[in-house]
């Protein structure tokens, strides 16, 4: 499938002309990422070792890893992956990430297994979505090495879509003529989610190109309103209690949706994307999904082995990172530190669109 398939954005998307936004997406986001994160045929042999950790300097800081190959640099720095259990920093390259995922996430066994990889995000931080795409690409590559049908063994769980949107998501992945404009219209994107679609478009287009199923995780507005109203009745109008109940219900619902998906795909992996509050410290979706997987094992003891739930938290920082400021294992299994492109305008206290102005300058 051509990369341009399905990218027919209306001119209403953030008031940018359709053709220029489509061209910038293709030339400055999708193609650089896919080429930079491409895998030479023999680059991931079984004997490959994880690359040496980045050096820690005398001030106790971890420097950004230097380039390790003459390949063209991507639009944004890859950063480094911080393994919280051992407090080691690994350059976030395709080879390093693949080695970590192959040995620590998928496991050394040759047979297929299942599990969930949760990658958090700040919804309006494009750097986080770039990290998510790289995790997704790596998982697809490694699973493809084990199975001919990645479409059956890899799915993307997304907080951004409701479970009731599943039919539209399936059409988007499988039907060439059903494009992003159709998906936005049918899921009522501007109302049900509302963030700039360009943050998510590289992920969605990679799923369409690679025939990877997208799972809508979120409950409907009606379901959340029922929880809110019931809690208000039970607590005699306590608004804070109602907000907490709805947030907890969302975590339970998304975790259960992901875990239940594995009944239909018992040898499959779900790469799950959700806001940081749902994943950080594991007490939201990760812990609840783990309980759901345990229940499935009891109900279906013949299921293949399950590797559990892994968490990755992206953090956008300015290098170097002071070692004492690195997140610990109570926060996540891995923290992916990445530096923001200095030419990007980003307001911590505002809702940011995807940094299209950067791609304009790059293509000028």
Report pLDDT for 28.
55
- 35 within a domain of the structure (yes/no): yes
Is-contact 68 92, C-beta < 8 A? no
Report the CATH number at residue 349: 3.40.50.11550
**DSSP per residue, 38-70:** ---TTTT-TT--PPPPPPB-TTSEEPPPPP-SS
Tens-digit pLDDT profile for residues 65-86: 555 444 333 333 579 999 999 9
- 4 within a domain of the structure (yes/no): no
Report pLDDT for 137.
95
- 13 within a domain of the structure (yes/no): no
What is the distance between the alpha carbons of residues 84 and 100, in angstroms, rounded to a whole number? 13
pLDDT at 324 over 70: yes
Q: Can you tell me the mean pLDDT for 121-144?
A: 94
- 45 within a domain of the structure (yes/no): no
What is the distance between the alpha carbons of residues 324 and 304, in angstroms, rounded to a whole number? 40
pLDDT band at 304, cuts 50/70/90? Answer: confident
pLDDT band at 285, cuts 50/70/90? Answer: very high
Structure tokens belonging to residue 36: 């930079």
Is-contact 334 313, C-beta < 8 A? yes
pTM greater than the 0.85 cutoff = no
> Into how many domains does the chain fold?
1
Whole domain around residue 298: which residue ranges?
18-40+52-363
- 339 within a domain of the structure (yes/no): yes
If we measure between CA atoms, which residue out of 322, 321, 357 comes closest to residue 339? 321
- 2 within a domain of the structure (yes/no): no
What is the distance between the alpha carbons of residues 20 and 361, in angstroms, rounded to a whole number? 12
Using CA atoms, how far residue 220 sits from 156, 227, 279, in Å, is 19, 11, 20
- 5 within a domain of the structure (yes/no): no
If we measure between CA atoms, which residue out of 135, 217, 209, 223 comes closest to residue 176? 209
> What angle separates helix 239-264 from helix 221-234, to the nearest 10 degrees?
140
Tens-digit pLDDT profile for residues 167-217: 999 999 999 999 999 999 999 999 999 999 999 999 999 999 999 999 999
- 95 within a domain of the structure (yes/no): yes
């Amino acid at each position: 499938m051509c990369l341009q398939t399905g990218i027919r954005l209306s001119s209403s998307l953030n008031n940018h002309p359709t053709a220029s936004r489509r061209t910038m997406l293709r030339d400055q986001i999708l193609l650089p990422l896919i080429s930079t994160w491409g895998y030479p045929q023999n680059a991931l042999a079984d004997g490959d070792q994880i690359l040496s950790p980045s050096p820690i300097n005398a001030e106790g800081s971890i420097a950004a890893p230097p380039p390790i190959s003459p390949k063209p640099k991507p639009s944004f720095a890859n950063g480094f992956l911080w393994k919280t259990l051992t407090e080691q920093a690994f350059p976030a390259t395709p080879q390093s990430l693949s080695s970590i995922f192959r040995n620590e996430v998928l496991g050394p066994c040759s047979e297929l297994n299942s599990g969930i990889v949760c990658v958090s995000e700040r919804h309006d931080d494009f750097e986080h979505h770039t990290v998510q795409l790289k995790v997704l690409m790596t998982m697809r590559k490694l699973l493809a090495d084990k199975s001919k049908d990645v479409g059956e063994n890899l799915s993307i769980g997304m907080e951004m879509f409701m479970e009731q949107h599943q039919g539209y998501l399936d059409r988007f992945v499988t039907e060439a003529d059903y494009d992003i404009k159709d998906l936005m219209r049918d899921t009522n994107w501007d109302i049900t989610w509302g963030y700039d679609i360009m943050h998510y478009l590289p992920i969605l287009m990679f799923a369409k190109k690679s025939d990877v199923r997208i799972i809508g995780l979120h409950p409907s507005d009606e379901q959340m309103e029922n929880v809110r109203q019931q809690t208000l009745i039970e607590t005699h109008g306590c608004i804070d209690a109602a907000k907490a109940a709805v947030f907890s219900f969302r975590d339970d619902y998304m975790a259960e949706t992901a875990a239940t998906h594995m009944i239909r795909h018992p040898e499959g992996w779900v790469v799950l994307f959700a806001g940081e509050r749902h994943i950080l410290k594991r007490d939201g979706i990760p812990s609840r999904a783990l309980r759901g997987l345990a229940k499935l094992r009891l109900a279906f003891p013949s299921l293949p082995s399950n590797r559990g739930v892994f968490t990755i938290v992206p953090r956008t920082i300015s290098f170097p990172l002071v070692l004492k400021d690195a997140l610990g294992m109570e926060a996540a299994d891995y923290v992916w530190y990445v530096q923001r492109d200095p030419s990007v305008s980003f307001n911590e206290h505002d809702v940011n669109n995807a940094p299209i102005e950067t791609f304009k300058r790059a293509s000028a």
